[in-house]
Amino acid sequence: MVIGRKLRSMHALTWRERGRVLEAMAILAAARLALALLPYRIYSRWLTGDGASGAADIELIARVRRGVQIAARNLPFAAPCLPQAMAAKVMLARRGAGSSVCVGAAPADTGDLALHAWLEAGGVVVIGNLARSGMTPVARFEGERIHAWRPRPDR
């Protein structure tokens, strides 16, 4: 039974890990609601805020990444890349680490445009790295501003 397996998996986690997973679940739910119900001008504050400055705490990033990934897999609704990036950003900010949400685009197999979001902290991709290949970066939400990527002229 799937529920029994999930409960055993949750039981195998430490209390701190369980707390991080529950924190991530709550933030993922809030992020999904914000994206579905609120206008961009309101939830864009969630994307900006603190910039990615300084060196990355690899252990902190790994703990937050694991919590968000476990939570996203076990929610009763889909939690794609943007809510995951938003949740990881909040969790890192609560622990004093700055980060930046990045958005990329690439042509999809159907002829449409595929979008993907990921989170970077101190030059390290926190969440969303796997689907990032082939994506052309379009925007980076950093500090209080949105930075659009522009192609650099060849030298």
In a domain, 154, yes or no: no
Residue 137 within any structural domain of the chain: yes
Residue 153 lies in a domain: no
Indicate the angle between helix axes 81-94 and 15-37, nearest 10 degrees: 130
Number of structural domains the chain divides into: 1
CB 75 within 8 A of CB 25: yes
Which DSSP string corresponds to 106-122? EE-TTSSEEEEEEEEET
The pLDDT tens digits along the chain (155 residues) read 566 666 667 667 788 888 899 999 999 999 999 999 999 888 888 787 665 556 678 999 999 999 999 999 989 999 999 999 999 999 999 998 889 999 999 888 888 888 899 999 888 899 988 766 778 888 888 766 666 655 555 54
3-state secondary structure of 54: coil
Parent domain of 113 = 2-148
Residue 103: inside a domain? yes
Q: Is residue 135 domain-resident?
A: yes
Please report whether residue 155 resides in a domain. Answer: no
Is 55 within a domain? yes
Q: Is residue 122 part of a domain?
A: yes
Beta pairing class for 124-127 and 136-142: unpaired
